[in-house]
């Protein structure tokens, strides 16, 4: 199976690598990173770059389409080539995965009508405008669509998908391989349980995301 991970300028790295690290460890899956052009694509911090080794136009079909999020989603929503690529590949995929606010890109591509999804807690209302029912959960499946909540939820969503593809017992070996027995030092909970000051700070930070990625420059 081919797993195609969509890279857009200004992605959030853990949205991608959390899922990649799980799914790349399923032996049947071959990973490819695709972007508008081959070469390095810079993350939201402008301090990390992942290499795209295929351009969108080089890919005709895929088995697993993986759409991550980040501040780069704002500009990408207005980019016809990105949206058309997602729409086109989703028509061929066995599974379509959306993580964090990358789920908005699936919505813009017309893939969310009547679907149950999850997304980053801060963009639930936006995602609902695409006709989806947004669940307050960490991951959810609706048919061939698997969506994850924000950033680190890419790990849980992808372990769940690995279980669907390779079986629960194999997924448990992947969990051990990535030593995913989480123990957050400042407690667990849900985003809804987070302190109000934290919610306010993160909403502000995310609201400024597009402006921030435009103002920061990559080191090379």
In the region spanning residues 38 to 77, those forming contacts with a second copy, defined by CB under 8 A, are 38, 40, 45, 47-51, 53
In the complex, minimum distance from the CB of residue 74 to a second copy, in angstroms, rounded to a whole number: 16
Task: Give the nearest distance from C-beta 215 to a second copy in angstroms.
Answer: 14
Radius of gyration of the CA atoms of the chain, in A: 16
Position 101 contacts a second copy (CB under 8 A):
no
Residue 100 designated active-site: yes
Q: Is 150 in the site for a second copy (CB under 8 A)?
A: yes
d(C-alpha 211, C-alpha 219), whole Å: 18
Alpha helices in the chain, H assignment, sequence order:
13-23, 73-77, 80-90, 102-108, 124-128, 153-166, 168-177, 196-207, 209-215
Give the long-range contacts of residues 135-140, CB within 8 A, separation 24 or more.
136/190, 136/192, 140/116
1 in contact with a second copy (CB under 8 A): no
**For a second copy, which stretch binds (CB under 8 A), given 60-68, 72-80, 128-136, 187-195?**
187-195
CA angle 7, 10, 16 (to 5 degrees): 45
CB of 165 to a second copy, least distance (A): 13
Indicate the residue among 3 and 83 with the shorter CB distance to a second copy.
3
Q: Which one of 7, 29, 86, 100 is the catalytic residue?
A: 100
Rule CB under 8 A: say whether 153 interacts with a second copy. Answer: yes
Q: How far apart are CA 15 and CA 68, in angstroms?
A: 5
Instruction: Tell how far CA 210 is from the center of its chain.
Output: 17
Binding piece for a second copy, criterion CB under 8 A, among 59-67, 73-81, 128-136, 191-199: 191-199
Taking CB under 8 A as the binding criterion, the range among 76-84, 105-113, 127-135, 174-182 that sits at the site for a second copy is: 174-182
**CA distance linking residue 108 with residue 201, whole number of Å:** 27
Per-residue contact string for residues 112-131; x = within reach of a second copy by CB under 8 A: --------xx----------
Based on the shown chain and the rule CB under 8 A, indicate whether residue 136 belongs to the binding site for a second copy. no
């Amino acid at each position: 199976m081919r797993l195609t991970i969509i890279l857009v300028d200004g992605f959030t790295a853990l949205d991608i690598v959390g899922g990649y690290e799980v799914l790349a460890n399923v032996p049947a899956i071959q990973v490819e990173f695709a972007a508008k052009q081959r070469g390095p694509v810079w993350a939201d911090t402008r301090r990390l770059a992942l290499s795209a080794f295929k351009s969108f136009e080089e890919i005709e079909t895929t088995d697993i389409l993986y759409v991550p999020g980040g501040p780069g989603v704002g500009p990408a929503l207005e980019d016809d080539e990105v949206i058309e690529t997602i729409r086109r590949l989703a028509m061929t995929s066995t599974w379509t995965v959306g993580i964090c606010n990358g789920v908005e890109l699936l919505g813009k591509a017309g893939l969310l009508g009547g679907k149950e999804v999850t997304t980053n807690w801060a963009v639930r209302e936006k995602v609902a405008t695409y006709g989806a029912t947004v669940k307050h959960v960490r991951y959810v499946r609706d048919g061939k669509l698997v969506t994850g909540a924000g950033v680190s939820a890419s790990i849980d969503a992808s372990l769940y998908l690995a279980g669907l593809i390779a079986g629960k017992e194999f997924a448990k070996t992947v969990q051990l391989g990535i030593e995913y027995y989480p123990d957050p030092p400042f407690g667990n909970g849900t985003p809804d349980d987070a302190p109000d000051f934290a919610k306010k700070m993160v909403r502000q930070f995310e609201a400024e995301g597009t402006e921030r990625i435009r103002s920061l420059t990559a080191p090379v």
